[in-house]
């Protein structure tokens, strides 16, 4: 078998995994895409090991090491995704990134949730009834 066949297949697998990492928003699909990329690397390692006729089989040894690292990555990655899903209720990467960044309402003048004095006019001091309502709430 020619070296071109497994190399082309590995490059297609790697490009598919790269597209999945860049385009997907679900954390589990991103982890699956990373696994696809690692499997493409494994295919290249074994193909070049056979093509070079290495007596130590270094490509196969590196492949076993990569498989062990990928298994650990998936185990830890899924545990993190499940913990985040339980706490936040979503595994959408974009929403998780927005929730992780601190948001200062003074920095964004177009934020509708900004309740600063500049948006509502002059600030009105709270009366005794307002203070009592806040104390009971």
pLDDT 10s digits, 74-122: 999 999 999 999 998 888 888 877 666 666 656 655 656 655 545 455 5
SS3 26: strand
pTM here is: 0.67
Percent of the chain exceeding pLDDT 70 equals 71
Look at 99 and 124; give whichever has higher pLDDT.
Answer: 99
pLDDT score of 68 more than 70: yes
Q: Which residues contact 28 (CB under 8 A, 6 or more apart)?
A: 78, 81, 91
CA distances to 20, 80, 95, 100, 106 from 85, in Å: 20, 8, 11, 14, 30
Task: Identify the pLDDT of residue 113.
Answer: 61
At 92 the three-state DSSP class reads strand
Least confident piece of the model among 10-19, 93-102, 125-134: 125-134
Q: What is the pLDDT of residue 75?
A: 94
Look-up of token digits 């190399």: 7
Instruction: State residue 62's pLDDT score.
Output: 95
Where would I find the beta strands (DSSP E) of 1-76?
none
- For the cut 60, the answer to whether the pLDDT of residue 126 exceeds it is no
Whether 49 and 59 have beta carbons less than 8 Å apart is answered as yes
Burial zone of 40 (CB within 10 Å; 0-12 exposed, 13-18 middle, 19+ buried): buried
């Amino acid at each position: 078998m020619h070296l071109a066949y497994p190399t082309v297949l590995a490059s297609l697998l790697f490009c598919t995994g790269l597209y999945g990492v860049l385009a997907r928003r679900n954390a589990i699909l991103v982890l699956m895409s990373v696994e696809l990329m690692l499997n493409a690397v494994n295919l290249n390692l074994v193909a070049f090991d056979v093509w070079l006729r290495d007596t130590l089989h270094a490509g196969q040894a590196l492949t076993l090491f990569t498989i062990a690292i990928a298994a650990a990555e998936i185990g830890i990655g899924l545990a993190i995704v499940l913990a985040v899903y339980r706490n936040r209720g979503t595994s959408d990467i974009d929403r998780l990134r927005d929730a992780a960044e601190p948001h200062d309402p003074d920095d964004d003048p177009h934020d509708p949730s900004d309740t600063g004095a500049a948006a509502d006019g002059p600030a009105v001091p709270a009366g005794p009834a307002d203070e009592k309502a806040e104390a009971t709430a």
